[in-house]
Amino acid sequence: MDPDERRDQILLVAARLFGDRPYSEVSVSDIAGEAGIARGLLHHYFGSKRELYLEVVRASAREPLGADPATVLGTERAWATAVDSFLAAIERNPTRWLTAANAGAPESDDEVAAILDETREILADQTLVVIGLDARADDPVVRAFIRAWGGFVQELTVEWVGRQRIDRDRVRRTMLATLPLLVDNVLPLLDEPTG
């Protein structure tokens, strides 16, 4: 394998193991053994178990909320395309998504928390573009609203791929229905002056 392929292989194995077991129960030897490499090679690529875990979380966060370039952003079709792309990315690697959703992360880990917070900001930016609200991306009320909705979606997807209590179709229909409904009916209320 070339170095990039080997690195990706180690990341996939580590993502699966970190997704299946708590961080403290996964050893460097476990990861190296599953990847079919020596521990030294794992250290060469990632340094330590912690650095490897952080890279798994970063890689998990890079799955984009995509939209078909042929669709006009801000339309129902663009939103449906983005939701389908997002769910397909989760389906391709549910373990990686569960890791990114903070299932099994070491507790009280500020560095992991920072990566996950950055991920939520990226997803908020992508969502704002797809639904046609990118002009309001700097509005703290709009950002808070989109991030709160993102927390709802995160829990929905964990219920789907992690706990298997709901199916993909219900997650899809809920995502397609809730954000447009909230943008049209709730966000205008948030724009009203308080007091």
pLDDT in tens, 118-140: 878 888 888 888 888 888 888 88
Task: Return the higher-pLDDT residue of 133 and 11.
Answer: 11
Report the CATH superfamily, name and number, of domain 3-59: Tetracycline Repressor, domain 2 (1.10.357.10)
Q: pTM for this one?
A: 0.69
CB atoms within 10 A of CB 152: 14
| Cβ–Cβ < 8 Å for 59, 142 | no
| Cβ–Cβ < 8 Å for 18, 49 | no
